[in-house]
Chains A and B, each alone.
Chain A
Amino acid sequence: MLSPRDLERLYDEHAPTVFAFLLACTRHEADARDVLQEAFVKLARLPGGLDGVRDERAFLLRLANNLAIDLFRRRGTRERHHDLFAAEIANRFAPAADPDVAAFRERLSVVLGELPAEQRAVVHLKLWAGLTFEQIATTLDVSPNTAASRYRYGIDKLRTRLRPLYDELNRADGHSAPTTPKP
């Protein structure tokens, strides 16, 4: 069983990544919070703790993914409308002071929400969690080739939908793309 100190360390190290992934999956902040809490409750109840787990982050992401799938199964058809509306509700990116960056992030959040769930999960894990295709395959329980092809399809769709805005912002700035302002 994990000690309270172990739980705190795991939370501080991995909860932000898990939360971002859950926000990408559920597209709803309240759902992401519920699943995150459920994941840590399960973690706390594990009889052997994380003994034998090589990659804590991958383990937590997989646990969170399974719990998110359970949540969707429990809800079923009745809640699919909620899921559709959630695409408009959840903003996955931090607010930006630069209006161009803010506009790009807002559009990116919307376009990501339009991707099929499996492509969205792979794109998120590759770009923002920094996992390899092998790690993504283990996390989502698919083959590495499937993970890679889903990523490619997802990126192509994002590129097609975001390219006009991306180019427009580049032209307006002269040469700079909408990047995160350096602190």
Chain B
Amino acid sequence: MKPDDFESQLQRQTLKPLPPEWRAEILQAARQAAAQPPRSTAGWSVWLWPCPQAWAGLAAVWMAILALNLAAGWKPFRGSARETSGRVELNWLALQEQQRRLTQLLNPPAPHPIAAPPKSPAQPAQSWIGQRAVNAV
């Protein structure tokens, strides 16, 4: 593209020169930097630098999810391992006791020959299990 008069006119304007006193300072800084070992680029700022807004947005989303969970009444389990094992043990004992009773109910002990008890108004009332055993005999 051929520049017109106006563009040529602009091109002819002399730009501000580079201050000569900067040369020594800038080259000195560059030489020092070259002499130093390269800095480690590890670190959060370097890792997050490519797009800090995206990381900030992601963090905000996680915070929102956490807030919603807390608001919905979700409570994380805070028990220790010892409490957990104790609870399991209690449940196991309760289950064993339940099985024992069930076995007793289903296989009752052999009934003794029962003599007809003398009727007495002082005799206590029999339980329903005892009544059932009597009926079975």
Contact = CB atoms under 8 A, between A and B. Distances in A.
B136 interface: no
Contact of B30 (A7, A92, A162, A166): A7
Interface residues of A, number: 39
A88 interface: no
A93 B13 contact: yes
Contacts of B17: 16, 94
Interface stretch (B2-10, B79-87, B99-107, B127-135): B2-10
A67 interface: no
Say what secondary structure dominates the interface of chain A.
Answer: helix
Contacts of A128: 11, 15
Interface string B13-27: 111111000110111
A41 B29 contact: yes
Interface in B63-120: none
A155 B29 CA distance: 38
A140 to B, nearest CB: 18
B33 interface: yes
Contacts of B31: 4, 7, 44
Interface of A: 1-2, 4, 7-8, 11-12, 15-16, 19-20, 23, 33, 36-37, 40-41, 43-45, 91-94, 96, 104-105, 108, 127-128, 155, 158-159, 162, 166, 177-180
